Amino acid sequence: MDKWLWAARFFKTRALASKACELGRIEARRPGAVWQTAKAARDAHAGEMLKIRNDSGEYEIEVLALSDVRGPASVAQTLYRETDESREQRRALAEAKKAVPIYESTWESGRPTKRDRRVMNRFRDR
């Protein structure tokens, strides 16, 4: 499983893919079965569904082909097909993240002055 996740470019290294399996971030379901957490040594099979949680988001994919070799990204994309619900969910999450305002420091020196600290303390009711 870790080798396929690495070859399909969901993780940069096999060690990261293996660690994700250990932490329960990879779930697998064969047709007609229930979701189970996947171990790193488990074999991936064509036709099975995977739920993958990594830094990029949460994917729900169907395994189309197997590979033990990490090739170009164009080849890696042919190994799986992402479900429409998963793609829509990730798009909505990305839009929600863009809507959240980002806090930026107002201090030019990178550090608040004594006066700035007093204003912050008054704001915090100290």
The pLDDT tens digits of the residues spanning 61-106 come to 999 999 989 999 999 999 999 999 999 999 998 888 888 877 666 6
The DSSP-derived string for 58-80 is EEEEEE----SS---HHHHGGGE
Tokens of 52: 């993958």
Q: How confident is the model at residue 52 (pLDDT cuts 50, 70, 90)?
A: very high
Whether domain 2-83 has CATH 3.30.9.10: no
The proportion of the chain whose per-residue pLDDT surpasses 70, expressed as a percent, equals 94
- Residue 6 pLDDT > 90: yes
Number of neighbours of residue 122 by Cβ within 10 angstroms? 9
Give the mean pLDDT of 54-67. 91
Tokens of 89: 């969910």
Return the amino acid letter for 24.
G
pLDDT on residue 106: 66
pLDDT on residue 105: 61
pTM (two decimals) = 0.74
pLDDT on residue 116: 85
pLDDT on residue 65: 94
